[in-house]
Structure 1
Amino acid sequence: MPIKGRRRCRSLPPDILSNLPDNIIDVILICLPCKEAVRTSILSKKWRYRWCRLTELTIDQSHWSTEEDLVDPTVKFSKIVYQLLTLHKGPITKFTLDITGLRSCPEIDFFIYFLSMNGIQHLVFHLPWNEDEAYKLSSLFTCSQLRHLTLENCFIHPPSSFQGFDKLITLELCNVTISFELLGSLISRCSLLEKLVLEISGVPISYIIEINASKLKSFDFSGCISYISLTNVPLLTKVSLNLYEGSSMEAQNLYFVKFFESCFALEHLHVHFCFEQFECAKPDEAPTRLPFDHSRVKRFYVRDILLEDIYDTLCCFSLIRSFSYLEYLELKLFTEDDDGTAEFLELERFSDVTFNHLREVKLEDFHGRAPQMQFVKLLFAKSPVLVRVTIDSYSRPKRRSKILAKVSKFWHLSPKVEVIYRDLWSGNVFEVEVE
């Protein structure tokens, strides 16, 4: 601290911390990590055990890690959490436990039961990964006031008497072991559920997830799955699908069509499809569009499309064609050579398509090869209201100059298009107006 600052601190009354209003002290404690909040007990009588009334607690490895750990971390964890909870007074509305660094999960059901008796509304558990047997959370379903629930690396099995979390708004499950029948039942019994995040690994592709959630607005799925059945999602506006290799929701598959047909309120879509399992691999047999238009999709993100895989590329375009009111498009397009793909993006093949509402496009990992340049030319020629194209690239300066020179000469349907080239190597940004 500068000398002037130290002098100013010395001139303050010695009891200034004790004279702070209670609400200011509470705000300070909320902003501190739990470990530091506990240490404030030494400041003054007014601060002593003030932390015990905190409504939010976060416990992680920082509470027991030292430079010389001579005691088993699990033993430390149990003692620390027990002391924190037994000293605490009043409700605990949010509790976060991150112990992924432990080798095994200690018994925590007592803590869950304690939290359920103290009005827990937001519960976050990141538990250690155990490849032999996931930790079973037995007391979880006693937390009837839950509004937000996040679980990682555990096993859950709702009892037959369980009627659901009738106040739950957000549910996030990452590597949680539960049968798909019980998962569907759990989701359907959370009548107020608005946000659902599922990350599932190592699942046989024959499984189907059924989602019946009339209030659901956001759905994020990562994993390997045969089909996701959306039976009742009238308010679902945001969907993110990251389908691992082995999933069978192919674009030519009826399941794929049914999925989008069920999301008639969809506005934001982020997809990462693995097309390697396609039985039909001939480009001429790729679908040109969905059998219906999605008039409400405004923003579309597609990740990791390899332009050399013509069938995959055309499947991606079948979605773009079907979103007739698309306003924002973001693509990460890979290309390894200049042969084979560009001809499938010729303007003649898209004579029946116009992107009447497309205003902004972002292209990642852009190197200016023929298929990528042809794609930009296609967008320019088919987008009457396009105003901005952002290109993220790692290309060298000479390559960058060639890309911008070519793009600036493309014919465009829109009166004026701005091209923003972001050089990810240097961090420099270059702007070109194409008129």
Structure 2
Amino acid sequence: MKRVCDSGGDRITDLPAHVIQCILVFLPIKDATKTSVLSRKWRHQWRSIPQLVFDDGFVEIREETESERSLMNKQALLNIYKSLLLRDGPMTKFVLSIPRLNPCHEIDLIVLYLSSKGVRHLTLVFSRNSDEYQMHSSLFSALHLKSLKLRSCEVTPPSWFVGFSKLTHLELNRVTLPCDFFKDFLPKCPLLESLSVVDCDGLEGNLDIVAPFLKSFTLVVDFFDICFSFKSTPLLSYVVLDWNDDCTDGGVPDMVSLFASLPALQQFHVNYEILNNFAGGGRNVPARLPTPLHFLEVFDMKHVIFDVSGMERVFVCLIMSSPNLCSLTVQVSTLHQHDQLAGNEVSSLWRLLEAEDCPGSSHCLQHLRECRIVDNCATQAELDLMRKAYWVAVGNNIPTRISYPLQRLGVLTITRLIFNISRMERVFVCLIMSSPNLHKLTIQVCCVFQLRLLFAGSIEVYKFANVARHWFLHKCSCSWIPAI
């Protein structure tokens, strides 16, 4: 300790100004202001921080009455005003994300101030339980914006809005928009690379996405009153399409047209409604897409219902058209009103993926590294669906290994696995025996599996236990998670 004191001056005081700024950027604003007591050199350094973040850590969180909440609201706004008025440097990033803060007209002054300071990255998150805040028009004069995130507010661009020529990232969550917002707004953001629209109101009409630099697109809504299409998106590589409303009336382009307009697609996340629109009863589903998805590496399907006519054909078509697929996730659901299933309605996934039934399929999963199968089935009447979900053959022709080994499959996750389904054990053994480089296996089993093991009620379970035990001990780590 004596050596440190005798070696020179105060190390904190002697830090260069740019190093002090780097330190202050990573501190909460309340802590950054307190550093003014460290030394004379640090006294006013916090006033020139280029990034200000006001989040839950900025206010005291406690159970409040209505009057206390109103007082907290005023005090928080007053402290924000003080922080802004005392600033003497440029503003590059501003975040206001206090969900308990009720929006009011005082926010207009903050937006006006930020617009005049040339802010580049702006995030405004308001309370969902309060009256919707009408965004001040001065926001659209912030022409230096590169990133804009808005939540729980109403946005109406003024007639004089000329566009955000530098905007690359736009995220709208629970925002009320005018019906022609995207028609008028997107062309005025020529450099847009990322667009996320989640639970927004006001979307209707035709939405033709023309964004030559767009790389990421997310659309999550509870209803669907628009017809959208990708007109000019040559760089779009990440797409999320998720909504709950039935879109079979033409809201989504047909499968061939959609993927033809996405030549650079790498990650595709989709839910049941979109796939159901693609299925269309299974009549017009091709065996493969005319244009293969050479760059598609991640395919994630949610709430898939395989007993819907044509759904399996859509699934297999997309798999067959993705020669470089690395990660596959299938979350299976069922139609609970179906008590009996016709086993011959559609071919099983297993048979369609076999080389003898689907020519050329021996190369479709050669690059697969990660596979997750999530099943939400629970009733006895739906057990047959699980057989399809886990690629179980209709007949007894289940090989010990599939004809083409999954050389790159390293991670396999299966949830709610029930081994009392006919031939389920054989399929599982076949899958792991066909994956020579599998190094991580996670299984969530239902209680019936433990009972079957205890009573040795099935020779297949016994075979499975022996094969799997030898495989796990020598090849990979295995996690057994009991179902709740």
User: Quick one: which of 353, 358, 362 aligns to 2:371?
Assistant: 362
TM-score (norm: length of structure 1)? 0.81
- Mapped to 2, the partners of 1:21 and 1:28 lie a distance apart of 11
Displacement after TM superposition at 1:75 (Å): 0.8
Where in structure 1 are there 5+ consecutive unaligned residues? Answer: none
Which residue is equivalent to 1:372? Answer: 389
Which residue is equivalent to 1:55? Answer: 50
Relative to 1, partners in 2 of residues 1:279 and 1:255: Cα closer, same or farther, differing over 3 Å?
closer
Relative to 1, partners in 2 of residues 1:339 and 1:236: Cα closer, same or farther, differing over 3 Å?
same
TM-score (norm: length of structure 2)? 0.74
Which residue is equivalent to 1:217? Answer: 215
The DSSP-based 3-state class of the residue aligned with 1:388 is: coil
User: Quick one: which of 293, 296, 309 aligns to 2:294?
Assistant: 296
* 1:64-79 alignment, distance < 5 Å: 64-65=59-60, 70=68, 72-79=71-78
The DSSP-based 3-state class of the residue aligned with 2:140 is: helix
Which residue is equivalent to 1:108? Answer: 107
The DSSP-based 3-state class of the residue aligned with 1:374 is: coil
Relative to 1, partners in 2 of residues 1:424 and 1:432: Cα closer, same or farther, differing over 3 Å?
farther
Contact map agreement 2:279 2:314 (CA 8 A) in 1: no
Displacement after TM superposition at 1:295 (Å): 3.3
Which residue is equivalent to 2:153? Answer: 154
- Mapped to 1, the partners of 2:61 and 2:3 lie a distance apart of 34
* 1:181-192 alignment, distance < 5 Å: 181-192=180-191
Displacement after TM superposition at 1:125 (Å): 0.8
* 1:220-369 alignment, distance < 5 Å: 220-223=218-221, 224-225=223-224, 226-248=226-248, 254-274=253-273, 282=281, 285=283, 287-289=285-287, 292-299=290-297, 300-309=299-308, 311-334=310-333, 343-347=347-351, 350-354=357-361, 356-358=363-365, 359-360=367-368, 361-365=370-374, 369=386
Task: Name whichever of 181-190 and 147-156 sits farther off.
Answer: 181-190
Which residue is equivalent to 2:442? Answer: 422
Displacement after TM superposition at 1:179 (Å): 2.1
Contact map agreement 2:241 2:274 (CA 8 A) in 1: no
- Mapped to 1, the partners of 2:212 and 2:303 lie a distance apart of 32
Query: What one-letter code is carried by the residue in structure 1 that aligns with 2:55?
Result: D
Which residue is equivalent to 1:388? Answer: 409
Contact map agreement 1:408 1:432 (CA 8 A) in 2: no
- Mapped to 1, the partners of 2:283 and 2:473 lie a distance apart of 40
Relative to 1, partners in 2 of residues 1:90 and 1:430: Cα closer, same or farther, differing over 3 Å?
farther
Task: Name whichever of 97-106 and 55-64 sits farther off.
Answer: 97-106
Relative to 1, partners in 2 of residues 1:181 and 1:431: Cα closer, same or farther, differing over 3 Å?
farther
- Mapped to 1, the partners of 2:198 and 2:113 lie a distance apart of 28
The DSSP-based 3-state class of the residue aligned with 2:332 is: strand
Relative to 1, partners in 2 of residues 1:280 and 1:247: Cα closer, same or farther, differing over 3 Å?
closer
Query: What one-letter code is carried by the residue in structure 1 that aligns with 2:92?
Result: T
- Does 1:99 pair with 2:98? yes
- Mapped to 2, the partners of 1:80 and 1:348 lie a distance apart of 64
Contact map agreement 2:412 2:441 (CA 8 A) in 1: yes
Which residue is equivalent to 1:40? Answer: 35
Which residue is equivalent to 2:164? Answer: 165
The DSSP-based 3-state class of the residue aligned with 1:139 is: helix
Contact map agreement 2:168 2:192 (CA 8 A) in 1: yes
- Mapped to 1, the partners of 2:61 and 2:441 lie a distance apart of 47
Task: Name whichever of 227-236 and 119-128 sits farther off.
Answer: 227-236
Contact map agreement 1:381 1:411 (CA 8 A) in 2: no
- Mapped to 2, the partners of 1:247 and 1:322 lie a distance apart of 24
- Mapped to 1, the partners of 2:170 and 2:112 lie a distance apart of 19
Displacement after TM superposition at 1:255 (Å): 4.3
Displacement after TM superposition at 1:135 (Å): 2.3
Relative to 1, partners in 2 of residues 1:24 and 1:405: Cα closer, same or farther, differing over 3 Å?
farther
Contact map agreement 1:175 1:200 (CA 8 A) in 2: yes
The DSSP-based 3-state class of the residue aligned with 2:273 is: coil
Displacement after TM superposition at 1:397 (Å): 11
Instruction: Give the count of matched residue pairs.
Output: 421
Query: What one-letter code is carried by the residue in structure 2 that aligns with 1:329?
Result: L
- Mapped to 1, the partners of 2:473 and 2:341 lie a distance apart of 29
